[in-house]
């Protein structure tokens, strides 16, 4: 994972599994972040197939499309793309919240 460092505010880390159905998250949000943050923005999109096939009832019934890959649509299996995305987000946030740690953090 490459986190871009710049003099700008920390980028919003965005992971979404919504590639097939653009109802909840459209490309417009990522385009706006990219326009505002430039190279400091690291937007990633996971395929719909990466989402857990058994999300909680609210997401299954009302959302109906993969959307929350680090929460409701997380497929909690070692090495799974959604687990890697979650781990990368946690590494990024830990690095930002504890910038003076003695050891570098890496995603699993």
pLDDT (tens digit, 9 = 90+) per residue, 3-41?
344 444 444 444 444 444 445 666 888 899 999 999 999
- pLDDT at position 108, please? 58
Residue 68: inside a domain: yes
Range of the domain at 40: 14-75
Alpha-carbon distances of 95 from 38, 58, 82, 107, rounded to whole Å: 21, 33, 20, 11
Residue 86 lies in a domain: no
Euclidean distance between CA atoms 59 and 79, whole angstroms: 23
Examine residue 64 and state whether it is found in any structural domain, yes or no: yes
CA contacts within 13 A on the Cβ side of 9: 5
Judge whether 92 lies within some domain: no
Q: What is the enclosing helix (H) or strand (E) of 74? A: none
Q: Does a structural domain hold residue 84? A: no
Domain count, the chain: 1
User: Which residues, in sequence order, are CB contacts of 87 under 8 Å at separation 6+?
Assistant: 107, 108
Integer-rounded Cα Rg, in Å, for the chain is 15
Per-residue pLDDT for 66 more than 90?
Answer: no
pTM, entire model: 0.64
pLDDT, residue 6, reads 42
């Amino acid at each position: 994972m490459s986190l871009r460092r710049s003099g700008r505010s920390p980028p919003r880390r965005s992971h979404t599994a919504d590639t097939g159905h653009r109802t909840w998250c459209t490309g417009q949000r990522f385009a706006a972040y990219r326009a505002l943050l430039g190279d400091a923005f690291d937007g990633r999109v996971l395929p719909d197939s990466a989402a857990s096939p058994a999300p909680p009832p609210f997401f299954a019934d009302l959302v109906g499309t993969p959307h929350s890959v680090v929460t409701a649509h997380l497929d909690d299996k070692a090495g799974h793309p959604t687990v890697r995305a979650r781990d990368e987000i946690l590494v990024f946030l830990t690095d930002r919240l504890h910038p003076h740690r003695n050891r570098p953090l890496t995603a699993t």
